[in-house]
Amino acid sequence: MKENRLFEVLETRVANEAGNREIEVVAKLAKRCLKLVGKKRPTMKVVVIQLETLREFQHQAHNYAVAFKEFMTGSLQELTG
């Protein structure tokens, strides 16, 4: 991450399935977990909370996108139908 090469080393499938922001958040969390001094690393509880928050955000964003698509499709059908 120092050399900003994160997206060069990612597996293609991961890069295609996840958004850049999500990848950066997980990479920063992983970097914090690798600190040599244990007191500088996040606790497992903090890791779980951060990952669950990210997953919930992704779930809400997906639901919003689906609802928006359905709304737009319905609106277009009303206009053309």
Amino acid code (one letter) for 71:
F
Strand, helix or coil for residue 52: helix
Amino acid 39: pLDDT: 95
| Token pair of 75 as six digits | 């609106």
- CA pair distance 18, 28, nearest whole angstrom: 15
Among 22, 28, 20, which Cα is nearest to 7's? 20
Amino acid 78: pLDDT: 62
Among 27, 26, 33, which Cα is nearest to 57's? 26
* Mean pLDDT by groups of 10 residues along the chain of 81 residues: 72 80 91 96 96 90 84 69 56
